[in-house]
Amino acid sequence: MVSNNSPNVAEARRSNIRYLIVAMLFWATAVNYGDRATLSIAGTAISKQLHLGPVAMGYIFSAFGWAYVAGQIPGGWLLDRFGSKNVYAVSLLAWSVFTMLQGTVGAFSATTAVVVLFTLRALVGLAECPSFPGNARIVAAWFPAKERGTASAIFNSAQYFATVLFAPIMGWITSALGWHYVFYFMGTVGIVTGLVWLKVMDSPKDHPRVNKAELQYLEEGGALVNLDQGPKAASGGAASVPKWSYMKQLLTNRMLLGVYVGQYCITTLTYFFLTWFPIYLVQGRGMSILKAGFVASLPALCGFGGGVLGGVFSDGLLRKGFSLTAARKTPIVVGMLLSVSMIACNYVNSQVAVVFIMAFAFFGKGLGALGWAVVSDTSPKQIAGLSGGLFNTFGNTAGITTPIVIGYIVKYTGSFNGALVFVGINALLAIVCYLVIVGDIKRMELKQI
């Protein structure tokens, strides 16, 4: 006879709703990155119709980043104030509507169309600002520490899956129907996803399908299951409300500052891929738009595999007894070293070789993309959303600088060679941040004010 206290019985009886939650995060993030990538796929056709050069396209690409960065701190505060489910749902529905509206810019004159397109891209960025802090916040609430790296890697790897899935579709739509329909398609997908989100998502304490065994498993493993039950519960009894004065503590903490700056460097790679990479394939390597859409999915597929592997590898090190610091830093450092290999594209002429090198580089980028797991491990419990927002502010400043810098490099050098060197240097700087600045990875404790 098996006792009711047997681990096997407890395991069998435990619900596993957290897997449904991370699947929802994965899909929402894939839609998020699909919407960001619309302009990169349609960009060649739009630039021809509106007569835009590389610098002008760089600034239009950067519109998303300006607003996304500006909204990170308010977005993180909204998550802490009103909870992840509802804030995220409003965010998802809003950015999808603004994505859809970008398909109408062709109806305006060239100058007006540029202004409208820039504005709508900025509104997409503003609407998306709670998404990644929300992801980190939900993972912190739904996953114990030993599973958090894998969960974070899963939702973060959706950025590559988005390209694998949506880039070929958007390339075909642009070629067969016209660039306008890319925005209509992705906007519709996002609106449907927002409605599904409202049905699926909830906090661990409020979700109707979570049983006591899973809730106990989460609590014992360090999951912040009370995160959306109000500031008092989230802080473990301290009746505190997130205060702007806590920002100084976050910004003067050496560990967090190293993580934030490192994320800027890593996100430079992301925005090269989201903005200029398909155009690099078309203009720098002579591919058609349709071919570039399919080819871009191959490095993305490797990035997806690397992203999942990085999280699994990190959590595996943790389970084997390695410190949290070693478990998180090892994949990041190794992954960024592999990413530097993209510079080798400057020394080959074969399109096949370029795709192979980029696939290898983006596998490394995926492997090292554990920043959100680190945020879930280190953010103060009382202001997890605010800390995630600050992290994303630093990271997505690269969404402003990367498109513009590359635009100027291409204009003044006439090639993408310098752009690849610029991106590779940022991968090296990310390694310096984690090895020299960050130090031990641990949860920061706030000083009450």
Lowest mean pLDDT among 189-193, 282-286, 349-353: 282-286
CA angle 367, 139, 442 (to 5 degrees): 75
Residue 136 falls within a domain, yes or no?
A: yes
Residue 262 falls within a domain, yes or no?
A: yes
Taking Cα atoms as reference points, which of 27, 36, 30 lies closest to residue 120? 36
Cβ atoms 434, 337 nearer than 8 A: no
Residue 4 pLDDT: 44
Residue 418 pLDDT: 92
Calpha distance 311→1 (Å, rounded): 39
Residue 26 falls within a domain, yes or no?
A: yes
Residue 239 pLDDT: 35
Calpha distance 369→328 (Å, rounded): 10
For the chain, what is the mean pLDDT? 84
Number of domains in the chain: 1
Residue 429 falls within a domain, yes or no?
A: yes
DSSP 104-129: GGGGS-HHHHHHHHHHHHHHHHHHHT
Whether the predicted pLDDT of 236 surpasses 50: no
Residue 338 falls within a domain, yes or no?
A: yes
Q: Which carries the bigger pLDDT value, residue 200 or residue 39? A: 200
CATH code of the domain containing 87: 1.20.1250.20
pLDDT category at 73 given cuts 50, 70, 90 is confident
Residue 7 falls within a domain, yes or no?
A: no
Read off the DSSP letter of residue 176. H
Terminal Cα-to-Cα distance of the chain (whole angstroms):
56
Q: What is the pTM of this model?
A: 0.70
pLDDT category at 232 given cuts 50, 70, 90 is very low
Which structural domain range is residue 159 located in? 16-438
**pLDDT 10s digits, 189-227:** 999 999 999 999 988 888 888 888 888 888 888 877 777
Whether the predicted pLDDT of 100 surpasses 90: yes
Q: Which carries the bigger pLDDT value, residue 191 or residue 349? A: 191
Residue 29 pLDDT: 94
Calpha distance 440→325 (Å, rounded): 6
Lowest mean pLDDT among 25-34, 87-96, 119-128, 221-230: 221-230
Whether the predicted pLDDT of 188 surpasses 60: yes
Residues 6+ apart with CB under 8 A from 293: 41, 167, 168, 169, 170, 171, 172, 174, 278
Residue 120 falls within a domain, yes or no?
A: yes
Residue 177 falls within a domain, yes or no?
A: yes
**Phi, psi (5° rounding) for residue 265?**
-65, -45
